[in-house]
Structure 1
């Protein structure tokens, strides 16, 4: 279970992006989080991915409370979550080839020996040829780069996958292809999924259940749309 309880978070403690938000995802479940741009759903997704420390509230991952975020999180928790962001060009080091981008988590966790095998498995599944793997981000399309970012998110075989508007910048065919990759991985691994977006049709087709943004809050807790950082 991935449980977020009464999470308050943001980028200025005097003016949080979200206040007392709660959300839970069962093992193997796909949950869609639906809301307009700027409402704070991406901030909640970053908290769930252990990338953003909340001001208040709790996060429990596989029965263990989370007490550290980013590099301060225990490796077992940090590597249990894979993340795909909306804008691949902001999420990928422009100096690296797609092959190196995918391999980053393996190298960072001392698993260099697994790089050839995992690349051989993942590259075809996300639709990347050996020639594309040798290119750098400026030499490929947004869709090709997002394919590499998805492969990077899967390379450590995470138990949880956070897709934060993963398909927002992609055409329909690439969207369908990447959703199919995620669903194939989930069937094989039993991983849970949090898919964040503002496309109700996509989320309802993709996920077991879709949660409207305001459903994350207890009655009486005011939530207002804030700037584009959310």
Structure 2
């Protein structure tokens, strides 16, 4: 399980953007978190991805409490979570080729020997040709770069995948392609998915269930959507 209990988080202790939010995700489950921009969804997603330390509350990953964040998180927990952000150009090093971008997590965890095979397997799965792999971010479209960012999130075979507005900047065909990649990976691996977004139709078609943010400026507690899908 991925369990977030009474999370309070933000960037100013005097005015946190997330207040006492609880959320749980089972292995193999896909959960959509629905809400308007600015209500704290992305902050909660970063907490779940072990990228942002909350002011209060607990995160439990696969039965183990999380006590470290970012690079201080134990490697076993840090590598169990893959994350794809909304804006690929802000999450990609502009100096790297797409091939190097996908391989980043492998190199960072000392698994350089796996780079060639993993990149060769993931690139066609996300729709990247060998020619595109040699390009840098400024030489490709947003959709092509987001494909590489998704491959980077999957390269360590995470047990949990967090997609924070992954398709918000993409056209309908690219959105459908990337959702299909995520679902193929989940079927193969049994990974759990937290998909964050403001598109109710997309989330309810994509996810097993959807929770909506009760109100942006209130306590920030997610509630069950009025029309969850199964």
TM-score scaled by length of structure 2: 0.94
Q: Is the 8 A contact 2:213 2:220 kept in 1?
A: no
- Aligned 1:39-50 pairs, distance under 5 A: 39-50=39-50
- Aligned 1:30-179 pairs, distance under 5 A: 30-179=30-179
Per-residue deviation, 1:136: 0.2
Alpha-carbon distance in 1 for matches of 2:62, 2:197:
24
For residues 60-99 of structure 1, the C-alpha deviation after alignment (integer angstroms, 9 at most, x for no partner) is 0000000000000000000000000000000000000000
Q: Which runs of no fewer than 5 residues in structure 2 stay unpaired?
A: 222-230
Per-residue deviation, 1:222: 3.1
Counterpart of 2:226 in structure 1 is none
Task: Report the 3-state secondary structure (helix = DSSP H, G, I; strand = E; otherwise coil) of the residue aligned with 2:205.
Answer: helix
- Aligned 1:177-188 pairs, distance under 5 A: 177-188=177-188
Counterpart of 1:222 in structure 2 is 219
Q: CA RMSD in A?
A: 1.3
Task: Report the 3-state secondary structure (helix = DSSP H, G, I; strand = E; otherwise coil) of the residue aligned with 1:28.
Answer: coil
1:212 and 2:212 are equivalent in the alignment: yes
TM-score scaled by length of structure 1: 0.94
- Give 4+ residue runs of structure 1 displaced > 4 Å after superposition: none
Alpha-carbon distance in 1 for matches of 2:158, 2:118:
13
* Equivalenced residues, count: 220
Higher relative contact order (CA 8 A, sep 6+): 1
Counterpart of 1:23 in structure 2 is 23
Alpha-carbon distance in 2 for matches of 1:32, 1:147:
20
Q: Which runs of no fewer than 5 residues in structure 1 stay unpaired?
A: 216-220, 225-230
